[in-house]
Every structure is written in structure tokens, then in C-alpha cells.
Amino acid sequence: RAPDCTLVIFGGGGDLTKRLLVPSLYDLAAMDVLSRKFRIVVVDRTEMTPEAWSAHLFDEISAFAKDKAGEFAHGRLDKSVWQKMMKNVEFLAGDITEPEIYQRVAGSLGNDSAIFYFAVAAQFFGTILKSLGKAKLFEEDGFFRRVIIEKPFGHNLASAKALNKVALAHAREDQIYRIDHFFGKEAVQSMMAIRFANTLFEPLWRQEYIDHVQITAAETIGVEKRGKFYEGTGALRDMVPNHLFVLLSITGMAPPSSLAAEVVRSEKTRLLDAIRPIKVKDFVVAQYRAGKIGGEKRLAYRSEPNVDPKSDVETYAALKLHIDNWRWAGVPFYLRTGKRLAARKTEVAVVFKKTPYQLFKQGSADSMPNVIRFQLDPIRGLAMHFMVKEPGLEEVATPVQNTFRYDDFFKSRANVGYEALLYDCMHGDQMLFQSAATIEAGWAALEGVNPPKNRKLCFYAAGDQGPKEADQLLERDGRSWLPLI
Ligand code: BG6
């Protein structure tokens, strides 16, 4: 069970609270792991009673859970679980840019342990951090005070450094939890277990045997109602230094000597620090035009609500990078992410070299005989591609695939993705959170291509595999992307 604590939500009326935070808290309540004294303090501009806030969220989340059938860990919302989670809510209406609200938060907390959660636009992160500091809300005396900061953590190296500086001027590193929901995905967490709890993989996990790695986060959704946010962010900043680099660091890190947060985090940072600065020639940005997905017509990005009709913001980014260390020298990592693509797929594919000598006739022209695919979303599992002899009289080798699926093997349902992260924060475990150094190493690698605005913008139709320029990025190395299906 988690220790006693109060969760202070800045921006309790926002989208993030509804989509991720409260559904995950609900799952923790359903697992009965929240402390009996668990309390929520909501800070928001618009005045509401705690009852109205709770009732509004109940309705919204019920509708949302229905839409996303299967994604909600406990199916239909159970009123008694909900009430248990919401039994102690306080609502403080006020302006987060004014000192007064922080005095009221301090008054409400007294000597309670607390987690401050920022569910507001990134431009307010610095202001809230400073104000919490000035109101002495990070001071601990037999109780803890922690802060969870959402992505995007800065928009380039300088801004991330500046935000880290503000945070560290008011709180210690061990009080700061920089969250990335990809770390909350069960199948992402399991990548470490697959790599380091088996003998099978680690001996092969190096340049002698691996040809290249493909990291994909492809979505079929467009920008939905987030045009305003997306216009100021774009695919590179929204996905690459955070989500894709989370996958990159888990794929490429050296085995840590323990699961202590500082040990694991420093291995991840070491990996990101070894990325050779990415060059413009290895970088593609593109935007979706109108098209069709699953037979349904989809608008062009420029026709989406709150998007400039002449926008040059990218909805797709692909890049090739190199990691300059002993293990990965000469192994390219190809990363791609985009909206409105042919299929939803989050995956890391580790493609092995061909055998040094071809003993068998090849049954198909498959150029990737051995691939290990960490399937992260929406399918969660591990697929291995290897060659077998094709039945028949000839000595022909042909590729087959063996797949493990979490949902076939384990009874537990999919979770929202924040449960483990919130629970770990309550317990003071930072292993699944980003350190200041990890964040800065990620942005540093991208300095040569960020901002992406002065790059040539390419285009793809909604429902495509991506722009042809991203295919060329691999073709020029004699390789190709695994198809999005
Ligand atoms: C968010 C991005 O952080 O991650 C979104 O802001 C993106 O643009 C989302 O859609 C992807 O997460 P998931 O878990 O749905 O793959």
C-alpha cells in the first residue's frame, strides 16, 4: 500500500487530469493500494465544488472508457471504488500565477506529505515551481514533498536546462519526478526484464550481431482537438526526445548493476550521451495531407481545427542516429513517428545480421531473417523472426515468426499507463522517471535538427506508410522499414 499523501493537482479541470491522471488513480483505488488517508487537492481557475468536479469527471471518464473499450483496466467504472478515491477532495479556485493560491495550498497541506502534479500547459511549469519554492512548499520535516512534471520538458537544450535550473533552485533532484507515460506502459517496463532476466539476448546485443534497430511510434489518429498545442510543438518535440528516446535508452543501455533509480538512470543517460549529433541529411520531417484510413476520409493537417492553413509544422519525423560506444559502433538506429499513418504501432525491432554464408537456398527474398520485435502498443508482446526449412524435397530456408502475447499469458487487463508511475512516486522510487541529465542528453543529441522548421517539409497522404523521403533514408543504406500493418 502507498504511504499517506495528498495529491495536489494544478490544472484539475484539464484534459490530462481526465485522460490519464484520474483513470490511473481509479485503477490504484480498485487495486486497493491507495493509502486510507489519500486526499486530493484540486487547483483550478474555475470555481467548482468538489462534488461537482468529481461528478463531472465520473461522467466524462465513463464515456471515455466506453469509447476505448478494453483500454480501461477495470472495465466499467465502479461507483464504490470511485467514491473511495474521491472521499477526500478539496477544491481551491485561484490563479496559479499569483502567490495567494500557494498560501492556501500550504494551509491545506499543513504537515502532510504531498505530490504536486502539473497538469497545465508547459509554459506554467517554471512559475509553479518558483511559487511552490517561495511558499516553502518543498520543505520537508518528517513528511515528503515531491513534484511530478509532465512533458514537454523544455523545447530544446537551452530551455530544458533553464527549467532544470529553476526546479533545482527550489527542490532537490530526488524530489523532482519528470514523467513520461511510455515508461508506464507495461510492455515497455518489461523490455528491461526481457533483456536482463534472460541469457538468451544479452550476448547477441551488440554490433557483432545486430545490423540495425528500428524504433516506431505510428498513430492513425490526427491532432484531434490539440491543434493549438501541436502547432507550437510538432512531431519532433512531441515524441522524439521523450517517448522515442525512452525506447532507445532501454534498447541500447548497458546492463545496470542494480535496479536502484540512480544506477538505471545513469546507464540510460550514458547511452543518450553517446548519440552522435544528428545531421540534417539523416532527418526527415513531413506533414499529412488529406487521405483515407480504413476507408474513411481524413482531413489534411492544415484543415484541422486551430491549425494555420499554411502551417509548416511536421506531423511526422524520421531520423537515423549512431551511438558512439563499443557496443553499438556502426549500428544505425532508425526512428520514426507520425500521425495519420497506415496503422497504429509502437514497436522496437532489432534486426540481426545475415549469416556469414548462405548454406540454404532462400525461399523468399526476405532480407531480414532474424528480427526481435518488442511490440508495445496496441499489441503487447514479443515476436521473433527466424528461418526454418521449408517442407519439401529441396533444401530451402524460409522465414517464420513466433509470437508471445501478454494478454494470452497474463490475466491482468491493460492499464492506463500512469498507475505504476504514480505508485512509484508515492513510494519515492525514481527508476521510471527521467533525471535532469537524461533529459538534457536527449535534447543535446537533437540540437542540429531542432527546431525542425528550417528543414525541408515533405508530405504524405493520411493512411500512407509515411513520406517517400523516409523510405529513401533507409534505401540509401540498402535497408527498408518494416511495414506498418
Ligand atoms: C503524447 C503525445 O505524449 O503521446 C501525443 O503528446 C501522442 O501526441 C501520445 O498521441 C502517444 O501516446 P500513446 O501511449 O497513445 O502511444
Element holding 51 (H helix, E strand):
helix 50-67
Specify binding-site residues for substrate: 181, 185, 219, 238, 339
Residue 239 Cα to ligand 1 middle (Å): 7
Question: Residue 431 C-alpha to ligand 1 middle, in angstroms?
Answer: 21
Q: How far is the CA of 141 from the centre of ligand 1 (A)?
A: 37
Known binding residues are: 45, 95-96, 151, 181, 185, 219, 238, 339
Q: Does the beta carbon of 216 lie inside 6 Å of ligand 1?
A: no
Is 74 designated active site? Answer: no
DSSP 98: S
**Residue showing cell 521523450:** 242
Ligand 1 pocket, residue 375 CB under 6 Å: no
- On whether ipTM exceeds 0.95, the answer is yes
Q: Contact 369/339 with Cβ under 8 angstroms?
A: no
CB of 180 shorter than 6 A to ligand 1: no
pTM of the predicted protein model: 0.95
C-alpha 83/C-alpha 65 separation (Å) is: 17
Q: How far is the CA of 213 from the centre of ligand 1 (A)?
A: 21
pLDDT at residue 76, as a whole number: 75
* Residue entry with cell 522517471: 433
Give distance in angstroms: CA of 65 to centre of ligand 1. 17
Nearest Cα residue to atom 5 of ligand 1: 238
H or E element at residue 298: strand 296-298
How confident is the model at residue 74, as a pLDDT? 55
3-state class of 44 per DSSP?
strand
DSSP string covering 411-462: -PPP--S-HHHHHHHHHT--TTSB-HHHHHHHHHHHTTT-SGGGSPEEEEET
Other CB atoms within 10 A of residue 311 CB = 18
44 lines ligand 1 (CB under 6 A): no
Amino acid at 484: L
Pocket mutation for ligand 1, best pick of 181, 245, 301, 380 (most atoms within 8 Å of C-beta): 181
Name the DSSP class of 271.
H
Nearest atom in ligand 1 to 238's CA: 6
Identify the pLDDT of residue 414: 62
Give the nearest ligand 1 atom to 180 CA: 3
Residue 346 beta carbon below 6 angstroms from any ligand 1 atom: yes
**Over the range 204-230, which residues count as b (16 or more CB within 10 Å of their CB) and which as e?**
ebeeeebbbbbbbbbbbebbeebbeeb
Q: Which atom of ligand 1 is nearest to the CA of 182?
A: 14
Q: How far apart are CA 240 and CA 263, in angstroms?
A: 23
- With vertex at residue 75, the alpha carbon angle to CA 15 and CA 341, rounded to the nearest 5 degrees, is 55
Question: How many whole angstroms from 83 Cα to the centroid of ligand 1?
Answer: 29
Binding site members for NADP(+): 45, 95-96, 151
Give the span between the Cα atoms of 472 and 470, in whole angstroms. Answer: 5
- The catalytic residue among 170, 212, 243, 385 is 243
pLDDT by residue, tens only, the chain of 485 residues: 999 999 999 999 888 898 889 999 999 999 999 999 999 999 999 999 999 999 999 998 888 766 554 455 556 788 999 999 999 999 999 999 999 999 999 999 999 999 999 999 999 999 999 999 999 999 999 999 999 999 989 999 999 999 999 999 999 999 999 999 999 898 999 999 999 999 999 999 999 999 999 999 999 999 998 999 999 999 999 999 999 999 999 999 999 999 999 999 999 999 999 999 999 999 999 999 999 999 999 999 999 999 999 999 999 999 999 999 999 999 999 999 999 999 999 999 999 999 988 888 877 666 788 999 999 999 999 999 999 999 999 999 989 999 999 989 987 666 778 999 999 999 999 999 999 999 999 999 999 999 987 789 999 999 999 999 999 999 999 999 999 99
Secondary element (H or E) of residue 43 = strand 39-44
- For residue 405, the model assigns a pLDDT of 95
Q: Is the CB of 377 under 6 A from ligand 1?
A: yes
314 lines ligand 1 (CB under 6 A): no
